[in-house]
Structure 1
Amino acid sequence: MQNEIERVLSEFRILDREKRKIFLLSLVEECDPHEVFTLQQGLKLKGFGAFDIIGSLPPELSVKIFAFLDDKNLCACREVCKTWMNITNESAIWRLKCLEMLKIDKGAKSAQNMNIPKEGWKKWYQKQYRREVNWINGRVQTVNILRGHKERISDAKLKENILVTGSADRTVRIWNIDTGECIRTLCGNSFSCVDFLLEEQIVAASTFFRSSFIWNMETGELLRELSGHVSAVRCISLSKSYVASCAFDGSLIVWNWRTGEKLATIPAEAVQIRIFESTILSLSSSSIKAFDIPNGNCIFSAPFNEGLLGWSYIQNYLLSKSAEDSMNGFPDQIVSSSNILNIIRLCSDSRVYDFDARGGRMISVNSGTLQLILLNETCQPNATRPHCLCNVETSQPMEIEYPQGKYKAILNKEVVRTLNMDHRRVIVGYLSGTIAILDFEPS
């Protein structure tokens, strides 16, 4: 390395300032990040002064280099000089930091379609950072109560700012949770499960009386009623072309929801299912299987004895992955991961729970109290373990703090029936029909 520096310096001495910039640009492009520091120290040692290599580079290259730093080091670099302060203020850097915080791959479609926040990427990142601090400390910032259902909430699904809830009061309600408004009420029978697709603007719901319904979200028009099960339906799942439901008798039926055509009846003995494009993942008492649609052939099978809790984690992980890319198979290492056993150990007493698998969080109910568990606070995903839970052993359930404590006495008296969460909110459905939105984002 020392001989290489001597060679570089001998070439560097004979160049004027502009040529030095061009020379350094080509050199830095070939350097690893740690070699840039070594090069700068070598220049200083040989009497060339504290030449600012980074500040002399073209802005787009300086931004790429600074984007490798974490937020703490970026804040330290901005104090070095005005040039570095201007570089660290570049919105391209903070956009990448926002994607990292939201666990979104920068090449994914959702990243490319993200709109520029009105306050700018840097201030938006600061807001998200404060939200993360609130998450880690279990501090809810605001609580909004939605009322409309008259009986227990049987299921709830949250996507972006739309919440769909099914209830035993014979209604499905569609809510805009930003405004707290019930957009539409859909009537039918006592509903056991719901699902919906924002891109297709459809809602699906199944009843305890063996039927499933498909509605248009915008108009409320009933598009289809599907029948075929001989017992109550326990789970329903939608994709762009298909709807599948499983009943308490273990049967799994797939329809084309656009035409109402029944495509397959699969004796899967399934207790839970989830559609990924043209593949159905199902859980039975002892295994997880994947079936191809529409022929119903089993294309993947793995032993699995971790029950609904382990299944819920896997399903949420795969859902977060399939939101970015189409599924090309189901990773065996997740299904067979021994770390799922640690989740079971932590949450074995929880009957109501939900995961933010991408963010490494879990919300559960213990003795009527909402608790937050951080599953992978310090761990980063890697190639061999798509979602590693290396420090789940040390995670301890944390009781959620309500703002000024005024909601704790009220909400902890209610019986929780459903939980649903995204990267900033927790939706709680109660036996009474009340829905609480717990928001961790600072106002």
Structure 2
Amino acid sequence: MSSNDFESVLSKFKVLNREQRKFFLTALVEDCTPHELYTLQQTLRIKNYGGFDIVGTLPFELSVKIFEYLDCKDLCSCREVNQKWRSITKDSTIWRTKCLEMLYNDKGSITADDIKNIPKEGWEKLYSKLYRREVNWNNGRVQRLRFLKGHKDRITDSKLKGNILVTGSADRTVRIWNVDTGQCEHVFSGNVFSCVDFLPEEKIIAASTYFRSSFLWSMETKELLGEFNGHVSAVRCISLSKSFIASCAFDGSVIVWNWKSGEKIATIPADSIAVRIFDTTILSLSSQKIEAFDINDGKCIFSSPFEEGLVGWSYIQNYLSSIENPDDGIYEQMLSSLSVVKRLSDYFSVRVFDFDTRKSRFVRIDGQSPSAVLWLALFDHNYKSKRIEYPCNENTTGLDISKEIFRTINVDCHRIVAGCLSGIIVLLEFDEN
């Protein structure tokens, strides 16, 4: 838009009444680029129209639509301009959009039912809470510590999904915890359990022992659904899908069963450290490579050198779990994530770790540290590490976190769950009261 065009616009604008100006400006905003709008605003100011509020003169719905593109800091600045702009920035539509954008990567922190019950005036308050939690997270400032007690020996494995935590222990039990309430909802007894997995959607829990057996229970009825044998040495990792259960052991084999029928599907010779099922494919990690096997016939359908060990494997598992359909182009998705994994070489000495790939966070414990010293690495900040700070009132529970040795760590969008050598489970939460 040239200067002559601006003069033409101004000559038309001068003869319009208030209602005509609103209509005229609405059409103008829709046709102009942001730069043209800025130039027009400066021209109006030079022509002694500087006191005219273009945005405030627009229909309210259009003003709200414009303000939705601003970030939180800009919205707060706009709020100080005048009463009109303040009322626009108070509109619940803006804050609902901001909340949903943030919650998209925070799956599990707030349920769909919770969202339905939020009143219009509650969206800004919710966003403020989520924003403060994000700031606390990125700065490693824990707001609250909670301790879950029940296990009598070291935690050997743990899985956190939503508000459900499943832990296996050397005390010969597997426990289901409601993380929100801190209550242990059920205890399964057996042998010394080495690894666990569960599917909330199927309501099943699987656990394997150091004595070659794997067990499957119903989370609803608490009944034993099946016992799976076949390995001749201790099981290292177990994985569940909607139809299959797979485990790898020190005997150099991966065994797959149909957990619904109990039928053994395949025995695959693979010196696997860890396995993961995706639909009809098993992803396997060995000491130097990643392989994928077809569940039905056990044939290797993909193989790639992989020297990044369990840290790299953990990142890939979390990455594949965070995308919508990991079965679509799973190998391309996996290989694209290797560029990130390659940059994790500085952290290979870590003893315990977990990722939140949706938020580009990596929580780790230095391998040389005997106590619970947690570090937070942010991928978006050149992997800069920060020591996680505990609240000053941490000893009010009678337990000292600095004396605990973490065996497992799970990370989700707003907390860290750590299983300790003592059997204690520590919840580190970043929400402000």
Question: What TM-score does the superposition give when structure 1 sets the normalisation length?
Answer: 0.85
Aligned to 2:355, the other structure's residue is in SS state strand
Aligned residue in 2 for 1:396: 385
Displacement of 1:212 after TM fit? 1.7
**Residue 350 of structure 1 corresponds to which residue in structure 2?**
350
2:425 paired residue number: 435
Q: Percent identity?
A: 56
Alpha-carbon shift at residue 167 of structure 1 (Å): 0.9
Q: Identify if the C-alpha distance between structure 1 residues 91 and 213 changes in structure 2 by more than 3 Å, giving closer, same or farther.
A: farther
C-alpha distance in 2, partners of 1:168/1:327? 38
| The one of 160, 177, 180 aligned to 2:179 | 177
What amino acid is aligned across from residue 404 of structure 1 in structure 2?
A: N
Which digits, 9 at most, give the CA deviation of each residue in 1:394-416, with x for residues without a partner? x1341432333537982222322
Identify if the C-alpha distance between structure 1 residues 134 and 202 changes in structure 2 by more than 3 Å, giving closer, same or farther.
Answer: same
More displaced, 197-206 or 275-284?
Answer: 275-284
**Gapped regions of structure 2 (runs ≥ 5):** none
Alignment of 1:6-405 (within 5 A): 6-9=7-10, 12=13, 15-102=16-103, 104=105, 115-116=115-116, 118=118, 120-322=122-324, 327-329=328-330, 330-331=332-333, 334-337=336-339, 339-345=340-346, 347-366=347-366, 367=369, 368-376=371-379, 379=380, 391-392=382-383, 395-405=384-394
Give the secondary structure class of the aligned counterpart of 1:139.
Answer: coil
The alpha-carbon distance between structure 1 residues 58 and 150, as it changes in their structure 2 partners (threshold 3 A), is same
SS in 1 for 2:27: helix
Alpha-carbon distance between aligned partners in 2 of 1:209 and 1:26, rounded to the nearest angstrom: 74
Contact 1:117–1:124 (CA<8 Å) still a contact in 2?
A: no
Deviations 1:271-293 (A, max 9, x none): 11223344433222222233444
Instruction: Give the residue type in structure 2 aligned to 1:282.
Output: S
2:411 counterpart residue number: 421
SS in 1 for 2:115: coil
Q: Secondary structure at the match of 2:358?
A: coil
Partner Cα distance (2:141, 2:374) in 1 = 11
Deviates more, 1:70-79 or 1:397-406: 397-406
Unaligned regions of 5+ residues in structure 1, if any?
380-389
Q: Is the 8 A contact 2:293 2:302 kept in 1?
A: yes
Which residue identity does 1:53 align to in structure 2? I
Q: After TM superposition, give the deviation of residue 207 of structure 1 in Å.
A: 1.4
Q: CA deviation at 1:314?
A: 1.9
Q: Judging changes above 3 Å, is the alpha-carbon distance between structure 1 residues 372 and 265 closer, same or farther for their aligned structure 2 residues?
A: same
Q: What amino acid sits opposite 1:248 in the alignment? A: F
For residue 403 of structure 2, give the secondary structure of its aligned residue in structure 1: coil
Q: How many residues align?
A: 424
How big is the shift at 1:79? 1.4
Q: Distance in 2 between matches of 1:402 and 1:148?
A: 24
What residue identity is the alignment partner of 1:375?
L
Question: Which residue identity lines up with residue 420 of structure 1 in the other structure?
Answer: N
Normalised TM-score (structure 2): 0.87
Query: 2:95·2:123 contact (CA, 8 Å) conserved in 1?
Result: yes
> Is the 8 Å Cα contact of residues 171 and 185 (structure 1) preserved in structure 2?
yes
Q: CA, structure 1 residues 49+340, in 2 after alignment: closer, same or farther (shift >3 Å)?
A: same
Pair 1:43–1:295, CA change in 2 (3 A): farther
Aligned residue for 2:375, secondary structure, equals strand
Kindly state the Cα deviation for residue 295 of structure 1 after the two structures are TM-superposed: 4.4
Distance 2:57 2:136 in 1: 39
Q: Secondary structure at the match of 2:153?
A: coil
User: In 2 relative to 1, CA 175–85 (structure 1 residues): closer, same or farther, beyond 3 Å?
Assistant: same
Tell me the distance in 1 between the aligned counterparts of 2:297 and 2:45. Answer: 70
Residue 301 of structure 1 and its aligned partner are, at CA, apart by: 3.4
In 2, are the aligned partners of 1:425 and 1:439 still within 8 Å (CA)? yes
Residues 91-111 of structure 1: per-residue CA shift (max 9 Å, x gap): 3322333344445399xxx99
Change (3 A) 1:36 1:333: farther
Q: Which amino acid letter does the alignment assign opposite residue 18 of structure 1?
A: E
Shift of 1:307: 0.8
Change (3 A) 1:55 1:327: farther
Give a deviation string over 1:195-235, Cα, whole Å, max 9, x none. Answer: 11222221111111222222111221111222222322111
2:23 partner amino acid = I
Q: How far apart are 1:73 and its partner, in Å?
A: 0.7
Given that 1:131 and 1:442 are in contact with CA atoms closer than 8 Å, whether structure 2 keeps it comes out as: yes
Aligned residue type for 1:369: A
Distance 2:111 2:323 in 1: 13
Distance 1:7 1:105 in 2: 50
Distance 1:418 1:50, change over 3 A: same
